[in-house]
Structure 1
Amino acid sequence: MFIHCKLAILILVLSLDSQVHTGKIIGGHEAVPHSRPYMVLVKQHTTDGKPKYCGGFLLNEDFVMSAAHCQAKHIFVYIGAHRSPIENIQPIPVDQTFPHKAFNATSYKNDIMLLKLSSKAHFNKNVRPIALGDHSGLPKACIVSGWGRDNTSEFMSVVLKEVNVTLIDDIRCSMENNYCSKGETGPAEGDYGGPLVCEDGKAYGVVSNSLKPHSGAPPIHFYSKISHYKSWVTSTIRNAWKSSKYVTLDLD
């Protein structure tokens, strides 16, 4: 009975109710169905009763990574999705949230968070974790994905979309432990928390925020640099493992 209720909730979430507003992948295209099995839709239950959405990605059967500014009192994650409605999606409540303790809600510095699932994700052809990248230089050939609307609609996309982004060599971004891209194409609000996936198919960044300069210059998109936080990720998962026997530590 509970499983049927959860699936009914998921269909409602992804059925593009006219009341649901979200962000967008700007200039993107539909991803090949289930070609990104690590992608997670994060639903935030807010105090005003209006759901909000972020992206996320699966690290292992117990943990999802997202952006710290996507934190909420109650969060559900939806794993294995591409199109709505769809069968065999796994809706899982989040048991604990671990936003980075140094996250700054004003500057979006350290905008990274781990979500501990209340039950294990079941791996199959549509559900797989993604490894984390460790790059000393600037990654090449990167892509971001999400269910945010495109620039032709004000509502949520029915399908997972993706867009290529080119990272820029910017000292200010590096000093803030971010990667950055610039241009009219890229992620926006509803896609935050999703992964920046680069040349070797690993996640190098967490989509954080976008800034539109007052000068009218192209927007700048920011991605929290995961390699800077690897020790934090490992220690956070290890501490959760100590308090819960079922958690699996596997980042590679």
Structure 2
Amino acid sequence: MQPLLLPLLLACLLPPMAEAGEIIGGHEARPHSRPYMAFLLISVQNSESWFGENLPFKTKMCGGFLVRADFVLTAAHCNGREITVILGAHDISKKERTRQVIPVKRAIPHQEYNNKTLANDIMLLQLHRKATVNTYVKTIRLPRKNHSVMPGKVCTVAGWGRLGVNAQAADKLQEVDLKVQKKNVCLHRYKYSYDNTIQICAGDPGTRKSSFKGDSGGPLVCDQVAE
């Protein structure tokens, strides 16, 4: 499995996002052990869903994470006509009493986002109302300015994306541990797209562990910090 390209947090605002999005080679997360995780339902402008199927409800899904009671961070390519954020969920197929469903008031993609190269693929979502922070819904810390993650560090990615290339999306939150690699690993594999000044290289090409479609927008978490 190829390593992930994860955009690095820039200054005080820009956090990382997994470039693709399914959890492969991971396992189900302990319910509500990641209370910062957000599940996004996004209305798109045509009948092509995130997975390329023609579906009548015209939606796609992404991940995200709560950084303030009224703001979620996600990937800019997760934008759409309307976005609904679900917080406090573990099994998204059920109406759990812990979940909070909040529409997005305003989507703020990075002003230099490029939808062809996915450069600056980050977006802030201002919620229509503040989330109620409790045991099941919490914010996660962002790294300090100029903070860097050392190669060899084992971090975690989580999401509700597909469990395999030809598999269905997961109902229950999945997670997988990924090792941060030296920059030259991704520089060698992605020499035309990897920018070693703004991206973290994570994953192991020798194992089948990764994120994929549906997990986009979720954070790489190292020591309880969204990197």
TM range (shorter): 0.7 to 0.9
Kindly state the Cα deviation for residue 136 of structure 1 after the two structures are TM-superposed: 3.0
Q: Deviations over 1:173-218 (max 9, x none)?
A: 45351112243311112101001001x21000xxxxxxxxxxxxxx
Structure 2: unaligned runs, 5 residues or longer: 1-19, 47-56, 188-193
1:108 is matched with which residue? 118
1:39 is matched with which residue? 37
2:185 equivalent to 1:148: no
Distance 2:97 2:39 in 1: 15
1:61 is matched with which residue? 69
Give the counterpart letter for 2:109 in structure 1: P
Give the counterpart letter for 2:117 in structure 1: S
Matches for 1:197-208 after TM superposition, within 5 Å = 197-198=221-222, 200-204=223-227
1:249 is matched with which residue? none
Q: 2:141 aligns with which of 116, 127, 131?
A: 131
Distance 1:26 1:80 in 2: 23
Superposition CA RMSD, Å: 1.9
Cα distance change on mapping 1:109 and 1:138 into 2, 3 Å: farther
Distance 2:212 2:149 in 1: 25
Bigger CA radius of gyration: 1
Q: 1:119 aligns with which of 106, 129, 136?
A: 129
2:107 equivalent to 1:97: yes
Distance 2:179 2:90 in 1: 25
Contact residue 149 and residue 180 of structure 2 kept, 8 A:
no
Instruction: State the TM-score, normalized to the length of structure 2.
Output: 0.75
How many residues align? The count is: 182
Instruction: State the TM-score, normalized to the length of structure 1.
Output: 0.68
Distance 1:96 1:72 in 2: 11
Contact residue 44 and residue 71 of structure 1 kept, 8 A:
yes
Distance 1:126 1:43 in 2: 19
Give the counterpart letter for 1:118 in structure 2: H
1:78 is matched with which residue? 86
SS of 1:57's equivalent? strand
Distance 1:113 1:37 in 2: 20
Give the counterpart letter for 2:216 in structure 1: Y
2:26 is matched with which residue? 28
Q: Deviations over 1:79-102 (max 9, x none)?
A: 000013122311100000111011
